[in-house]
């Protein structure tokens, strides 16, 4: 029997590409340049399986491919699937899988790095130094704030939120409170306690970190009103999805100094980052690199391949989303 044909939309780490080649007929993307809408649509008519990722917007037009679809499975490289029209995929019988579990540490590490960058005002200091404006050691200007004894508020106490809570509490001496939309049955760390609402968390935390999926319910979860509840010295960290935060409202809060700072790895219209954000020195901006370590990207790729292998062996893929 002919090997299933897999089209891969981005450059993958070498060991993942090698494994794919050993198992399937594969069309790789050597350049890492994203596919256009037309190219994604054509891929849906030529592949048995598509390995794509965040940024490949798989809308209804692409998924149905004008009735010429051959693709039966979309193996997403990543946990979040908000770039895929899951309803249409379900309607037309396309299986969608993801790669959870293997990126918790990398993403929690990056959230912790953003907490440190924001509270210690690293970008502000680095920019000043690079502009040649550093006049030498000084004692009392540009001071940041310490983490020990401060409160971290985690919104979304899933795997990544939990991994961050552990780092913040055990590594940096922070108290942890959290809000999760469903009840967390086994508290991640016994020292963390749940609060009754997002509003209560926003008002109490010194650092708020977002770890919710980018679904319709979470669109602009954090907007003007909730930002106004934050303490003036508080920081907002987002490594989840850009549209969880109303970016315009956040810019206004940062410009007004209503909150002390923010650390953002995700944006509403990636890869577009508003100029007003770029101009601010009380925000650290990263280009969606939460899971971007070599080890993690290999593990994610292997998980995507595991899903394809199971599917084409007529088994339920281990990480089937729907």
Binding site for ligand DGY (CB under 6 A): 54, 78-80, 103, 290-291
- Can 235 be counted among the known catalytic residues? no
Q: Give yes or no for a contact between 251 and 276, defined as CB atoms under 8 angstroms apart.
A: yes
In angstroms, what is the minimal distance from the CB of 103 to ligand DGY?
A: 6
CB-nearer residue toward ligand DGY: 156 or 290: 290
Nearest residue to 70 (alpha-carbon basis) of 45, 33, 96, 99:
45
Question: Catalytic residue among 120, 219, 220, 270, which?
Answer: 270
CB-nearer residue toward ligand DGY: 64 or 307: 307
- Can 241 be counted among the known catalytic residues? yes
Question: Catalytic residue among 83, 235, 241, 303, which?
Answer: 241
| Torsion angle defined by CA atoms of residues 77, 81, 87 and 89, in that order, rounded to the nearest 10 degrees | -10
CB-nearer residue toward ligand DGY: 103 or 309: 103
The single residue listed with the structure tokens 């790895």 is 265
Please give, one letter per residue, the 3-state secondary structure of 88-156.
HHHHHCCEEECCCCCCHHHHHHHHHHHHHHHHCCHHHHHHHHHCCCCCCCCCCCCCCCCCCCCEEEEEC
In angstroms, what is the minimal distance from the CB of 289 to ligand DGY?
A: 8
CB-nearer residue toward ligand DGY: 78 or 153: 78
- Can 270 be counted among the known catalytic residues? yes
Question: Catalytic residue among 125, 128, 219, 288, which?
Answer: 288
In angstroms, what is the minimal distance from the CB of 238 to ligand DGY?
A: 11
DSSP SS3 for 173: coil
Helix (H) / strand (E) element for 5: namely strand 5-8
In angstroms, what is the minimal distance from the CB of 315 to ligand DGY?
A: 23
CB-nearer residue toward ligand DGY: 79 or 277: 79
CA angle 6, 288, 106 (to 5 degrees): 85
Query: Which residues are bridge partners to 236 per DSSP?
Result: 208, 262
In angstroms, what is the minimal distance from the CB of 210 to ligand DGY?
A: 12
Helix (H) / strand (E) element for 73: namely strand 73-77
Q: How is residue 282 written in tokens?
A: 């009380």
Catalytic residues: 241, 270, 288
């Amino acid at each position: 029997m002919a090997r299933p044909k897999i089209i891969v939309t981005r450059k993958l780490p070498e060991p993942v590409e090698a494994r794919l080649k050993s198992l399937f007929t594969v069309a790789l993307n050597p350049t890492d340049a994203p596919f256009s809408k037309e190219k994604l649509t054509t891929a849906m008519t030529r592949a048995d399986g598509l390995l794509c990722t965040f940024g490949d917007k798989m809308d209804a037009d692409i998924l149905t491919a004008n009735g010429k679809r051959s693709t039966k499975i979309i193996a997403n490289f990543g946990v979040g699937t908000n770039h895929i029209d899951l309803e249409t995929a379900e309607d037309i019988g396309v299986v969608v899988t993801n790669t959870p579990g293997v990126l918790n540490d990398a993403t929690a590490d990056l959230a912790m790095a953003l907490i440190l960058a924001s509270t210690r005002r690293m970008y502000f200091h680095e920019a000043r130094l690079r502009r040649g404006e550093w006049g030498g050691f000084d004692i009392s200007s540009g001071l940041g704030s310490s983490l020990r004894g401060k409160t971290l508020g985690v919104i979304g106490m899933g795997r990544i939120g939990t991994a961050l809570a552990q780092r913040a509490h055990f590594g940096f001496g922070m108290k942890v409170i959290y809000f999760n939309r469903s009840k967390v049955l086994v508290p991640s760390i016994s020292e963390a306690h749940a609060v009754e609402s997002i509003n209560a968390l926003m008002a109490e935390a010194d650092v708020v970190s977002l770890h919710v999926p980018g679904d319709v319910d979470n669109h602009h979860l954090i907007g003007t009103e909730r930002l106004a509840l934050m303490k003036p010295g508080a920081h907002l960290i987002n490594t989840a999805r850009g549209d969880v935060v109303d970016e315009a409202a956040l810019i206004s809060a940062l410009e007004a100094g209503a909150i002390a700072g923010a650390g953002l790895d995700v944006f509403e219209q990636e890869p577009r980052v508003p100029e007003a954000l770029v101009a601010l020195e009380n925000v650290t901006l990263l280009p969606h690199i939460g899971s971007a370590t070599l080890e993690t990207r290999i593990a994610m790729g292997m998980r995507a391949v595991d899903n394809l292998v199971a599917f084409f062996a007529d088994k339920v893929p281990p990480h089937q989303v729907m």
